[in-house]
């Protein structure tokens, strides 16, 4: 039986072109890019060529791009680095209420251990926030605002441009976690106006363990750790050249496929939403139908536990998620859905289907064939769903 993978927001398979591009840097071109001999120079050229490729995708200067181990590290460098740099003058930050834990946790650290005040920017029932709400929270003590570009659970695409305008009007820096948007949408850092932007390789058919952080020229942050001169001391440590080459190739492929991927995945997502909502009573879509990353579909099935649905689908060779992979198995309702005002009983039954390039309509037809009976079986055992019936 074919295994059907619908958890591409957690991670993606590495594209064969990416693997091919990376292989020489494990074997024959293995030099340290900080070395001055031939092997080091060869690696340095690959590193800087990749920097130019990645920078061109988000329309920044290569000198504004710094390679990291992934989205979590990029987020931490941006948030903690800014806070530490400005702590003598400003000790307040604002983050979105529906952020990934890579943003939430450093903010909590600043609040609990570093004496910072943290405010959470509320979202509406579809996961959107507003410039007016942000303006209400900004004070003279605000050092940074961090709001995700595309939400990892619902796919909601924030109007980052309008939010950065508010922040900059009050002389406040703005960071966005774009891990779920770069490579899936066109992202221009000058157009959206951010000061810092995080991205990752393994969400876009690149390798795990590599990401990047855009830091606009003139923005100063404190490094989180110290070592050599790598990445202009913003992120010291020998660069993972093979992975960086893979990240650049993944974005090159994404550039070629962007329109066709969006069209293909958008059509499949609509087919899945309409099929599930039409066949299964008491369910609803979390997040918007429009202004959403096309491959992300989050549906609440009332009266069931999301983890039970995940395990039941897994037994039928279908891989999905009940939320972010980083919090899978906690048993707690999604903080993203809670921030959107989704009732706990509905949030507990939420499933994230994240589609990918290999997803076919036949895959989704199979899912829509087995999903109604799974939900029916779980509801028959549910004291919550059967209350009052």
Q: Summarize pLDDT for 150-178 with one digit per residue, the tens.
A: 999 999 999 999 999 999 999 999 999 99
Query: What CATH number should be reported for the domain whose range is 16-252?
Result: 3.40.640.10
Average pLDDT of the residues of the chain: 95
Query: What pLDDT digit, counting tens, does each position of 97-155 carry?
Result: 999 999 999 999 999 999 999 999 999 999 999 999 999 999 999 999 999 999 999 99
Which of these is catalytic: 60, 112, 283, 326?
A: 326
- 22-39 mean pLDDT: 95
pLDDT of residue 331: 60
Cα-flanking dihedrals φ and ψ of residue 121, to 5°?
-75, 115
Of the chain, the percentage scoring pLDDT greater than 70 comes to 97
60 catalytic? Reply is: no
Cα-flanking dihedrals φ and ψ of residue 28, to 5°?
-90, -25
Each domain of the chain, given as residue ranges in start order, spans 4-11+258-380, 16-252
Proportion of the chain in helix, strand, coil states, percent, rounded to 5: 45, 15, 40
Query: What pLDDT digit, counting tens, does each position of 255-309 carry?
Result: 999 999 999 999 999 999 999 999 999 999 999 999 999 999 999 999 999 999 9
pLDDT of residue 387: 64
Query: What pLDDT digit, counting tens, does each position of 214-238 carry?
Result: 999 999 999 999 988 898 888 999 9
- 231-260 mean pLDDT: 95
Strand ordering across the sheet containing 283-285: 283-285, 296-301, 350-354
Res 325 pLDDT > 60:
no
Res 15 pLDDT > 90:
yes
pLDDT band at 388 (very low <50, low <70, confident <90, very high): very low
Query: What pLDDT digit, counting tens, does each position of 333-367 carry?
Result: 899 999 999 999 899 999 999 999 999 999 999 99
- Residues in CB range of 311: below 8 A, 6 or more apart: none
- 5-22 mean pLDDT: 98
Provide the pairing of β-strand 4-5 with 318-319: parallel
Prediction pTM value: 0.95
pLDDT band at 383 (very low <50, low <70, confident <90, very high): confident
Q: Are 244 and 49 in contact (CB under 8 A)?
A: no
- 314-318 mean pLDDT: 98
Cβ atoms within 10 Å, residue 18: 25
Res 324 pLDDT > 80:
no
Report the C-alpha gap between 284 and 161 in whole angstroms: 29
Fold of 4-11+258-380: 3.90.1150
Cα-flanking dihedrals φ and ψ of residue 130, to 5°?
-135, 155
């Amino acid at each position: 039986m074919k295994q059907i993978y619908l958890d591409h927001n957690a991670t993606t398979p590495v594209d064969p072109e990416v693997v091919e591009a990376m292989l020489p840097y494990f074997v024959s071109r293995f030099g340290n890019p900080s070395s001055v001999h031939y092997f080091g120079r060869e690696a340095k050229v690959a590193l800087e060529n990749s920097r130019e490729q990645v920078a061109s995708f988000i329309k920044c200067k290569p000198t504004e791009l710094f390679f990291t181990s992934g989205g979590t590290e990029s987020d931490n460098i941006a948030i903690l680095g800014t806070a530490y740099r400005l702590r003598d003058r400003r000790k307040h930050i604002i983050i979105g209420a529906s952020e990934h834990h890579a943003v939430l946790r450093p903010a909590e650290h600043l609040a609990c251990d570093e004496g910072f005040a943290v405010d959470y920017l509320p979202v509406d029932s579809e996961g959107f926030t507003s410039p007016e709400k942000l303006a209400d929270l900004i004070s003279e003590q605000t050092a940074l605002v961090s709001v995700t570009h595309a939400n990892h659970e619902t796919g909601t695409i924030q109007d980052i441009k309008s939010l950065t305008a508010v922040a900059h009007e009050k002389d406040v820096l703005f960071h966005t976690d774009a891990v779920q948007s770069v490579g899936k949408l066109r992202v221009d850092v000058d157009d959206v106006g951010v000061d810092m932007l995080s991205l990752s390789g393994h969400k876009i058919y690149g390798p795990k363990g590599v990401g990047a952080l855009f830091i606009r020229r003139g923005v100063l942050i404190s490094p989180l750790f110290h070592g050599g001169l790598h990445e202009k001391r913003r992120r010291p440590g020998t660069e993972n050249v093979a992975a960086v080459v893979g990240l650049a190739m993944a974005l090159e492929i994404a550039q070629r496929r962007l329109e066709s991927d969006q069209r293909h995945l958008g059509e499949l997502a609509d087919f899945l939403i309409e099929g599930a909502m039409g066949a299964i009573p008491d369910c609803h879509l979390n997040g918007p139908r429009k202004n959403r990353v096309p491959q992300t579909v989050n549906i609440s099935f009332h009266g069931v536990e999301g983890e039970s649905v995940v395990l039941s689908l897994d037994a039928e060779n279908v891989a999905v998620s009940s939320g972010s992979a980083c919090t899978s198995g906690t048993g707690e309702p999604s903080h993203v859905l809670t921030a959107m005002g989704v009732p706990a009983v509905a949030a507990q039954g939420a499933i994230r289907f994240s589609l990918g390039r290999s997803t076919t309509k036949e895959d989704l037809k199979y899912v829509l064939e087995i999903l109604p009976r799974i939900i029916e079986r779980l509801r028959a055992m549910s004291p919550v769903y059967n209350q009052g019936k």
